[in-house]
Amino acid sequence: MIAGKLGVVGRHLGLLSVLGVVLSGTASAADQADNVPKLTAESYDSGFKWAHDTYNGMGTGSDGKIYYVLCTTKYDVAGQMYCFDPATKRIKHLGDLTEACGEKGINAIAQGKIHNNFVEYRGKLYFSTHLGYYAIIDDMEKPGPPPPGWKPYQGGHFLSYDLKTGEFENLGIALPGEAIIAMNMDDRRGRLYALTWPTGNFVTYDLATKEMKDLGPTCLDGEGGRGQRYRTICRSPVVDPTDGSVYFTNGDGDILRYDYDQEKIETVKSDNMRKDYFGLYDPTSPGHMGYNWRQVVRCPADKCFYGVHGNSGYLFRFDPRAGRVTVLERLTSLPSKRCGMFDQFSYGYLGFTLGPNGRTLYYLTGAPIYVDGQRLAGKDSTGKGEAKGLENLHLITYDIPTAKYIDHGAIFLDNGQRPLYVNSIAVDKAGSVYTLCRIKRDGRVITDLIRIPAESIKLER
């Protein structure tokens, strides 16, 4: 039976009850003791009152603008897409996800989210849709059953957005009834790749032939499974453009490879993600990503992949030619390193990307909050992706050629609030950093855009 409310708007009430303590204030004692500076972020109002947590959902276009989606958890309100112009600091509303998918007026569960970053190809941004309306069953997120008179969720769509014309194109549903939890694109071969939710099927879509292929499940029954059949689904498939391979992981720590020529999935035999440094996990237990990598990007200079493991926050390099994983550095904040804590977001953080210079990694991660000298405690465990405790948000950079790590400090908004629930990132051409976070505004907590100006981020410190 359903144990809890439909949807996820109220699922974090235990944490939100302490917002009066942690949404505003000064840098923590741990930050001050470690001599870590404080960053001030500008906050913006996109004008969407139903905005909820966004996971990925951002990107920097070739036109220099920041594109992003604000998500919802309502069955009848879709996620909304926007762009921010760094030159004018103005926001433009671009469209409604349900309308873009051609589902307006059919009374089906809304296209509430996107769960991937944008990929640009031939003047268009490519992305996919996800649902935001859940039921909490056995303390796990499941697709929400439709209210009377409403149709079930139809399935996640592949979409494109034309940067010049402002037009959306619906490329079709990846797998009927399944959302898309992760997507990437081979921008040399014009092919889209997705992992569906909750089952974890691997789906391909070829732009030239318009052919959709379902290669089946990749992680047993995925997040729709129970007991020994349950596995969390990888959130970050990454493409090797040299041969068209796609790499992703499963909760057991296997690295899987999609072979472009053979159109089949195989397990990389030479190495895996089961590293002692990452911790010990039961992949059949919900509430963590197991041995999955959390977020991965490709560095064109050395043709290697750089990623972060979720709970532990360790940075690693995966060389697809050698098939080897090398653990490099714990990329968490200095205060987290000092006290030895795992980050409090149960799945780890998605705010990890390669900067415009092609060599600097940017990571938005947590740090402990101290109240009256005591660290603010959280829950010991959870059965779903959520914050087990609230944290200060820190910006970390890592220079790949020199292995230089910098903690740029705790981030506060221009009104003194702490940004919360951060799982997205984009960096503009000038080096300013953007994310989507929870903000307390007019007595309500919603998600919206913030910007950390480039001039406050000293990469040569």
Q: Do 424 and 57 meet the contact criterion of CB atoms below 8 Å apart?
A: yes
Q: Which domains does the chain have, with CATH numbers?
A: 2-456 (2.130.10.10)
State yes or no: pLDDT of 1 exceeds 60. no
Strand pairing partners for 272?
none
| Residue of 12, 51, 21 lying closest to 392 (CA atoms) | 21
What does the pLDDT look like over 17-54, one tens digit per residue? 444 444 554 445 444 445 667 999 999 999 999 999 99
What does the pLDDT look like over 325-358, one tens digit per residue? 999 999 999 999 999 988 888 899 999 999 999 9
Residue 461: per-residue pLDDT: 53
State yes or no: pLDDT of 70 exceeds 50. yes
Q: Do 58 and 424 meet the contact criterion of CB atoms below 8 Å apart?
A: yes
The contacts of residue 105 (CB under 8 Å, 6+ apart) are: none
Average confidence (pLDDT) over 146-161:
97
Phi-psi map region of 111: left, alpha, beta (phi>0 left; psi -120 to 50 alpha): beta
What does the pLDDT look like over 160-190, one tens digit per residue? 999 999 999 999 999 999 999 999 999 999 9
- Is pTM, for the whole model, over 0.85? yes
| Residue of 30, 37, 35 lying closest to 410 (CA atoms) | 37
**Band of pLDDT at residue 136, cut at 50, 70 and 90:** confident
Q: Do 186 and 258 meet the contact criterion of CB atoms below 8 Å apart?
A: no
State yes or no: pLDDT of 10 exceeds 70. no
Average confidence (pLDDT) over 417-431:
96
State the Cα–Cα distance between residues 59 and 429, nearest whole angstrom: 12
Strand pairing partners for 50?
none
State the Cα–Cα distance between residues 407 and 119, nearest whole angstrom: 28
Average confidence (pLDDT) over 74-95:
98
Residue 379: per-residue pLDDT: 78
DSSP secondary structure string, 14-51?
A: HHHTTHHHHSB----HHHHHTT--EEEEEE-----TT-
